[in-house]
Amino acid sequence: MKTLNVNDIQYNADGLVPVVAQSVDTQEVLMLAYMNETALNKTLSSGYAHYYSRSRQSLWKKGETSGNVQAVLALYYDCDADSLLIKVKQTGVACHTGKMSCFHHAVLETENKQPILKALYGLLENRKNNPKEGSYTTYLFNEGLDKILKKVGEETSEVIIGAKNNDKDNTINEIADLAYHMMVMMVNEGITLQDIEAQLEARRQ
């Protein structure tokens, strides 16, 4: 991780600088918090996000008690050097409510939503790290790779049958089922969307 010149950071009157945390996997904005100089130095030295709690008036490591840590892969400051952006590999969820992002209350929503495959991947990854009782996705992860691969095989056959029968609507439905189960397998095996994109990009040459 590239080291910042911490002397460039412009802290407010309370010695704090606002920090936006963004997922490197989905590009979703996860949370807004604050760092003081100690928290920033601790983040840079450890590689994990540390913040300053204004309510408790103390330093804290994100996920120290919940396990939902943030591995910091990039850190930037803005043009005025008075706010920070960190790109993180989020373990589990970022919000204490159990949501992936703290920004889940929509007031105005006119822009395009996050690409569905990235959103789905993030949801599946969260479900693997935070099992939920009664969840079909949690069931698949608990059953393991053999069960997941069995479902991939079944859905592949359903896609073939739908296409062979010239049933477009059914084929679309089965392709969606196959995509879901393929992504469950990817998350289970630690294969990211970026891995697939890189492979396809290499083949485009």
Whether domain 6-90 has CATH 3.10.20.810: the reply is: yes
pTM of the model: 0.60
- CA-CA distance, 176 to 156, in Å (whole number)? 11
47-53 contacts, C-beta under 8 A, 24 or more apart: 47/1, 47/71, 47/72, 48/72, 49/19, 49/21, 49/86, 49/88, 51/19, 52/16
The full set of domain ranges for the chain reads 6-90, 116-203
Taking alpha carbons only, the member of 125, 131, 121 closest to residue 179 is 121
Instruction: Note the CATH number of domain 116-203.
Output: 1.10.287.1080
| Predicted confidence pLDDT, tens digits, the chain (205 residues) | 445 677 889 999 999 999 999 998 888 899 999 999 999 999 999 999 999 999 999 999 999 999 999 999 999 999 999 999 999 999 888 998 888 899 988 787 666 566 788 888 988 988 898 888 899 999 999 999 999 999 999 999 999 999 999 999 999 999 999 999 999 999 999 999 889 988 988 897 6
